[in-house]
Amino acid sequence: MQKIIAAFDGFKFSQSNLNYAIALAAKANAHLTNVFLDDKTYTRYAIYDLVFEDGVSQKKMSKLVQQDARIRNEAASKVVEVCSQIGVSFNIHHDENVALDELLHETIFADLLIINNKESFTHHEEKYPSRFLQDLLSNTQTPVFLTPDSYKPIEKIVYKEKVVYKDKTIKHDFIKKEEPKISKNKQELLDVLTILKNKKKKTKKDQENIYTIEKVLPNIK
């Protein structure tokens, strides 16, 4: 694998999805593209929050839009911080158009898409799988890994390869033993972990980073 895409909802950020994405990128020595689907039609506020007796309040709307942007940016900053500490090759991409269309376009040249198994990009509760996931799985041409809410270390990666020779199609199933290749070694991560744990006053971000590092360390030699 060369390119992995991890899709995120900035309002309902999945830490487990990030943990799996980083672990797989490290094991496969792949580039990780973190896609935040910031669909403009998907907001934390409802239209009735903006309507007053004299019409729509532009001031209130501006404030709510800024709040949404702040929450989404905080989620993206968390991804940047953790990916930088772990040392995987990565980038961040924000898509502001229709979430499904944007994600399908993003995956055209990807080897794997990673997304939480409860993603819906709506605020109302939906039966599993959500309508969003149904449409995504029905239309994508890229393998999809639906991640659970709790992370478990990845022990091995199994590849299924299809090779076509003239009019014959041969399928090869094999297990590839991976040697994780990352720009920072395990000792450096242990050093970062020690520093974070030794802090007398730990912030929420410190606690999240400690959790993430401890989860991905078993996958790194």
Domain around 74: 3-219
CA distances from 186 to 144, 190, 217 (A): 28, 6, 7
Coil, strand, or helix at residue 92? strand
Backbone angles phi, psi at 8, to 5 degrees: -135, 150
Query: Which alpha helices (DSSP H) does the chain contain, by range?
Result: 15-28, 58-86, 99-106, 131-139, 186-198, 204-216
The answer to whether the predicted template modeling score (pTM) of the entire model surpasses 0.85 is no
Residue that wins the pLDDT comparison between 150 and 178: 150
Q: What is the structure's pLDDT at 157?
A: 76
pLDDT at residue 151 greater than cutoff 90: yes
pLDDT of residue 209: 79
Comparing 157 with 110, which gets the higher pLDDT?
Answer: 110
Q: Tens digit of pLDDT for each residue in 68-114?
A: 999 999 999 999 999 999 999 999 999 989 899 999 999 988 999 99
Task: Give residues with Cβ within 8 angstroms of 196, minimum separation 6.
Answer: 202, 206, 209, 210, 213
Residues 175-183: what's their mean pLDDT?
43
Query: Does residue 71 contact residue 148 with C-beta atoms inside 8 Å?
Result: no
How confident is the model over 166-184, as a mean pLDDT?
A: 47
Assigned token pair, 47: 């239209």
Of the pLDDT bands very low, low, confident and very high (cuts 50, 70, 90), residue 174 is very low
Q: pLDDT tens digits, residue range 47-75?
A: 656 555 555 567 777 888 899 999 999 99
pLDDT confidence bin for 40, thresholds 50/70/90 = confident
Mean pLDDT, range 178-193, rounded to an integer? 59
Report how far apart the first and last C-alpha atoms of the chain are (Å, whole number).
19
The rounded mean pLDDT for the chain is: 82
pLDDT of residue 211: 82
Q: What is d(CA 181, CA 87) in angstroms, rounded to the nearest whole number? A: 10
Query: In the predicted model, is pLDDT for residue 2 greater than 80?
Result: yes
What type of residue is 85? Answer: Q
Structural domain count of the chain: 1
Q: What is the model's pLDDT at position 10?
A: 94
Residue scoring higher pLDDT (175 or 127): 127
**Mean pLDDT for the stretch of residues 12-33:** 94
Q: What is the CATH number of the domain that holds 196?
A: 3.40.50.620
